[in-house]
Structure 1
Amino acid sequence: MRLIKLLFIFTTILILLFGCNETTPKLQERPKNEVLVLGTIHGGHLTDSLYNIPYLKKLIKAIQPDYILAEIPPDRMEMAMTGFKRDDSISEPRVLRFPEYVDVIFPLTKEMDFEIIPTAGWTKPMADERSAKLRAISKDSSRTADWHAYTEANKRSDSIYRATGKVNDSYFIHTPTYDSIQDIALQTYNRLFNVELGLGGWENINIAHYWNIEKALEKHRYEGKRFLIVYGAGHKGWFLRQLRKRDDITLLEMEPFLKTIAEK
């Protein structure tokens, strides 16, 4: 009886030891997704001599994303994709504003194997309300100081940006310095008007965008895939601050991919 008990204890110890050794590597081997944030200049891509449509196409081909998290509202995606598949063009009004989608990302779906996930928190009623409130503030004599602070912050941000001599430089746009320059205007705008503008406030709209981005990252957690977040460059710093809080992804820098296409 004593021998049986000893054998039972010994077997239990072996199971615990080897069980732990089997489980731990499996947890460690779960592959993290890679995430990059691409800051765009919207209509500027149509006119800029360097950071233009052909450049964006080469960059996205170099990145080889599995998923593109787009600045497209979920309720606009089906109409945009249906129109594109039907006649190779985008007619959906919101998406039509962004050449990075119309001229680059949608056409690349014919050459590359990635999924576009719409993540924008934007809605037309929200945008209309924000515009109306900003117009009212600009004309309100009791808010002159606030409006002056807002416009001056924009001027200061633009002035510093121009002084760098790197306006629309794709390398510079993907640096913390660029984000800090943008924050001069955006944080003033946020401090003065975020609560008042409701869903259209700067912090509030970024929260709405990022909630959809988080949903996509959670859905595909530990798949070992590459995610490319494509938004206006002003959003980039806000998103990066949130993404750095996640321990299930690897944030990649854009610079190596920019160098890759520069060498070709």
Structure 2
Amino acid sequence: MKIKFYLAVIFIISSFTNPLFAQKTELLILPTIHGGHKKNVNYNFEHVRHIIENFKPDIIAVEIRPEDMDRDTSYLKAFYNPEMIMFKNEFPEAEKAGIDFMGADFEGKSLPPDFMKEIIGEFGKFRAMNQKLMRDTAIVKARIARGLPALISKRGEMMANLGANQLMDGKYDALTEEFTRGQTEVLKNTPYQFYDDFQVSRDQRIADNIKALALKNKGKRIIVLTGANHHNRAVNELRKVRSVNLVTQVQDH
């Protein structure tokens, strides 16, 4: 009898210490559509607000750099998308966290006022290179042959019309993965390879920041607002984490 009692005690203790029995982190990675929320009747800002309300998060993570999370709204408006600023400022009962990355050269530093207008740092080089490659006839032809404009068009149509649950069902993410593979093939070993390298590394850094946040806050409810084009890499990364339960359905009303 005593042996059974001791075994029961050991089992109870192990259930609290063994990660297999620990309460999982409930993580919702919500793909957002930035300015598109103003026009998409199936996924507007109010839908996002309802999703957050219904999820009841302990933490709301937004696509703003961690080092900018304490900055005022006038500063943030120059660099970040509207839903990120909006929901950083709402839901005071939830802790807020930043997950964005805009280049190693400005890590830990404030962004200058002309950051989005001039060729400044890695992010500026990335933006300028986009304009250059779109004027390069050979690259334009290669992009068309690989089907990249068609994929962009499909994703644009989905963002303009679909609700959150449809953007989370895997179809949009599959298009993003196909686009990323195609762009890498087209730009590899060209003068524009940096464009693809930076885009992929930024996506990965955002995913890594989400992972670090989830691991630091085990057992909590975390909602992450991130652009739809970052969603696939983040989900793929967090799917590997045993202490995380990925939430894949939302209630938006």
Shorter-chain TM-score: what band?
Answer: 0.7 to 0.9
* Secondary structure, counterpart of 1:78 in structure 2: coil
Q: CA deviation at 1:239?
A: 1.0
Higher helix share: 1
TM-score, normalization by structure 2: 0.77
Bigger drift between 194-203 and 39-48 goes to 194-203
Number of aligned positions between the proteins? 230
* Secondary structure, counterpart of 2:161 in structure 1: coil
Bigger drift between 38-47 and 189-198 goes to 189-198
* Secondary structure, counterpart of 1:127 in structure 2: helix
Question: Aligned partners of 2:48 and 2:122: how far apart in 1?
Answer: 30
Contact 2:25 2:221 in 1 (8 A): yes
Cα displacement string for residues 103-125 of structure 1 (whole angstroms, at most 9, x for unaligned residues): 3x134234xx2111101122452
Residue 244 of structure 2 aligns with which residue?
Answer: 249
Matched, 1:183 2:177: yes
Matched, 1:130 2:113: no
The gaps in structure 2 that reach 5 residues or longer are 104-114, 116-120
Question: Aligned partners of 2:129 and 2:98: how far apart in 1?
Answer: 27
Question: Aligned partners of 1:102 and 1:25: how far apart in 2?
Answer: 40
Residue 149 of structure 1 aligns with which residue?
Answer: 142
TM-score, normalization by structure 1: 0.74
Contact 1:130 1:201 in 2 (8 A): yes
Question: Aligned partners of 1:200 and 1:251: how far apart in 2?
Answer: 28
Question: Aligned partners of 1:165 and 1:71: how far apart in 2?
Answer: 18
Cα displacement string for residues 208-234 of structure 1 (whole angstroms, at most 9, x for unaligned residues): 11222222122213xx21111110011
Q: CA RMSD in A?
A: 3.1
Question: Aligned partners of 1:114 and 1:200: how far apart in 2?
Answer: 35
Residue 74 of structure 2 aligns with which residue?
Answer: 91
Q: 1:167 aligns with which of 157, 161, 184?
A: 161
Q: 1:109 aligns with which of 91, 95, 102?
A: 91
Cα displacement string for residues 203-262 of structure 1 (whole angstroms, at most 9, x for unaligned residues): 2111211222222122213xx21111110011111111111111011111124x24xx2x
Contact 1:34 1:249 in 2 (8 A): yes
Q: CA deviation at 1:70?
A: 1.4
Question: Aligned partners of 1:65 and 1:248: how far apart in 2?
Answer: 17
Question: Aligned partners of 2:26 and 2:6: how far apart in 1?
Answer: 34
The gaps in structure 1 that reach 5 residues or longer are 1-10, 84-89
Matched, 1:232 2:214: no
Decide whether aligned partners of structure 1 residues 94 and 200 sit closer, same or farther in structure 2, where only a CA change above 3 A counts: farther
* Secondary structure, counterpart of 2:69 in structure 1: helix
